[in-house]
């Protein structure tokens, strides 16, 4: 997980880098109005138009995200000789720290997506565009600008929206080979079911639908996400995979290493443009020398901000920093809210894990156990003894940390998805209430000694015993502190 200090460091460093974006730009139009009746001509709503707005979409949204974070950018795309194209050019001209080539194709309509919105909900969308491969002259112009802009570029983004630039596989491969000769890394946001055209890419960032279209493997859980990513790597479509899985977070699949990062948000208003934000922030962070995990966390934070907004939108440094302050509070739940949370997770076919303890003085042994448990499930719940419960079990001098402090510490951990306390001496009532798929406990317990193990087995779940870290326990820490006084 990235803390506030690390986030500031990343945001500062990415502003020293330059990114080249090549892709399909489009104009996003939003028409707002009110709906108070159904048409007598057909069972459809009648919208009374009140106002409208425009925004740069497609690959332009990638550009907009980078620009809003003050990252220097080069940009290459295609527009038509029409009103939409001229509107896009005016918006691009207003951006700072950018060099660009908006090439005009007289035989092409500028892609324009018009969304009709009422009361914050999108009613329908109308697309006006030309979807066709580029002519020879335009390809040559793109190659010339690509070779010009690439010289001072730290990393390259291919933003493929399937509108024309990357339709020709041979042309796509020609661009990639130019980049590889210059030792430049390419990160691809793909489209369509032919990922072979991206061969030579450093990272590919499909969402679940795009990954399924290309591999026929639906990454609905961690295991299938790994299988899907490995399939892409085995076929040499990309060196690495950053799989975006909506509310299930991100998966980074490498040849010999796999990491799953859980979503930072429980509230999704509109996923439009979230993929653009992910590839923008991930690429910028990689260019700045951060590792894949840090970069994915950075992108994940950005995605958690934009999905709460309407339409294709960028984000600012301030929004990123503010989001870190508010990521964790929702994790501390009561009995009423935990049931709804678990129901939602299970409806999404996520495996729910549970472990419990006093967690008075958090130590590395606890962290190691949480990490191992989270790797074996999709969502991890921590059950925590109340202060009164600990006093009954450990004596009047315990706990050292009160319930609020313990909950905040545990909730701040990235691998933990929910924290809930119980008043009883054992968690059996809570376990029966939650009905987790997996119960985790330390390997110092035998299965028959683990409270709840028999019940979990009776409902089709399982218990996993985790090997504990040596010489790590709260009792040991307390004894050390007492002996030093």
Active-site positions read 276
Beta carbons of 48 and 36 less than 8 angstroms apart: yes
Helix (H) or strand (E) holding 383: strand 379-385
Residue 106: both structure tokens together: 């007289």
Residue 273: both structure tokens together: 């443009």
> What is the pairing mode between strands 25-38 and 45-58?
antiparallel
Neighbouring-strand partners of residue 384: 357, 421
E strands, 132-204, where?
Answer: 155-159, 186-189, 203-204
Side-chain half-sphere of 315: how many Cα atoms within 13 Å?
28
CA distance readout (Å), 225 to 201, 211, 235, 344: 19, 9, 16, 20
Rounded Cα distance between 205 and 186, Å, is 11
Q: What is the dihedral of CA 96, 101, 103, 109, to 10 degrees?
A: -30
Which string of DSSP letters, residue by residue, matches 103-140? EEETTSPPPEEEEEEETTEEEEEEEE----PPPHHHHH
């Amino acid at each position: 997980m990235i803390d506030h200090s690390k986030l500031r460091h990343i945001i500062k460093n990415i502003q020293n880098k330059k990114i080249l974006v090549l892709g399909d730009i489009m104009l996003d139009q939003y028409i707002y109005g009110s709906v108070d009746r159904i048409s007598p001509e057909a069972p459809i709503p009648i919208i009374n138009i009140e106002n409208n707005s425009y925004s740069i979409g497609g690959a332009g949204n990638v550009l907009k995200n980078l620009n809003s974070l003050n990252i220097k950018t080069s940009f290459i795309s295609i527009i038509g000789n029409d009103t939409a194209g001229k509107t896009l050019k005016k918006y691009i001209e207003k951006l700072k720290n950018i060099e660009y080539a908006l090439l005009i194709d007289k035989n092409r309509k500028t892609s324009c997506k018009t969304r009709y919105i009422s009361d914050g909900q999108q009613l329908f969308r109308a697309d006006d565009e030309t979807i066709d491969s580029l002519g020879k002259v335009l390809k040559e112009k793109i190659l010339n600008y690509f070779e010009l802009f690439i010289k001072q570029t730290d990393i390259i983004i291919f933003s493929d929206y399937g509108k024309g630039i990357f339709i020709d596989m041979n042309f796509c491969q020609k661009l990639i080979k130019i980049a590889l000769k210059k030792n430049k890394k390419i990160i691809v946001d793909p489209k369509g079911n032919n990922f072979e055209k991206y061969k030579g890419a450093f990272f590919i960032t499909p969402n679940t639908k795009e990954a399924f279209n290309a591999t026929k493997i639906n990454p609905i859980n961690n295991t299938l996400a790994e299988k899907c990513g490995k399939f892409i790597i085995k076929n040499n479509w990309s060196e690495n995979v950053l799989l975006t899985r909506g509310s299930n977070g991100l998966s980074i699949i490498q040849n010999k290493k796999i990491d799953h990062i859980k979503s930072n948000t429980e509230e999704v208003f509109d996923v439009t443009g979230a993929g653009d934000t992910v590839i923008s922030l991930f690429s910028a962070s990689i260019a700045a020398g951060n590792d894949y995990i840090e970069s994915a966390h950075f992108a994940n934070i950005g995605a958690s901000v934009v999905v709460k907004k309407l339409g294709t939108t960028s984000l600012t440094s301030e929004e990123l920093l503010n989001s870190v302050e508010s990521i964790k509070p929702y994790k501390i739940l009561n009995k009423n809210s935990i049931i709804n949370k678990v129901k939602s997770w299970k409806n999404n076919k996520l495996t729910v894990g549970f472990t419990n303890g006093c967690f008075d003085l958090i130590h590395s042994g606890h962290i190691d156990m949480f990490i191992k448990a989270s790797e074996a499930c999709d969502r991890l719940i921590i059950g925590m003894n109340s202060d009164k419960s600990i006093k009954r079990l450990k004596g009047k001098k315990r706990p050292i940390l009160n319930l609020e402090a313990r909950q905040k510490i545990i909730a701040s951990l990235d691998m933990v998805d929910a924290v809930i306390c119980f008043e009883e001496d054992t968690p059996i009532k809570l376990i029966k209430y939650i009905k987790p798929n997996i119960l985790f406990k330390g390997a110092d317990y035998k299965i028959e000694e683990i409270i709840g193990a028999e019940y979990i087995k009776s409902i089709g779940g399982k218990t996993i015993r985790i090997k504990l870290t040596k010489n790590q326990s709260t009792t040991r820490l307390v004894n050390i502190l007492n002996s030093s006084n």
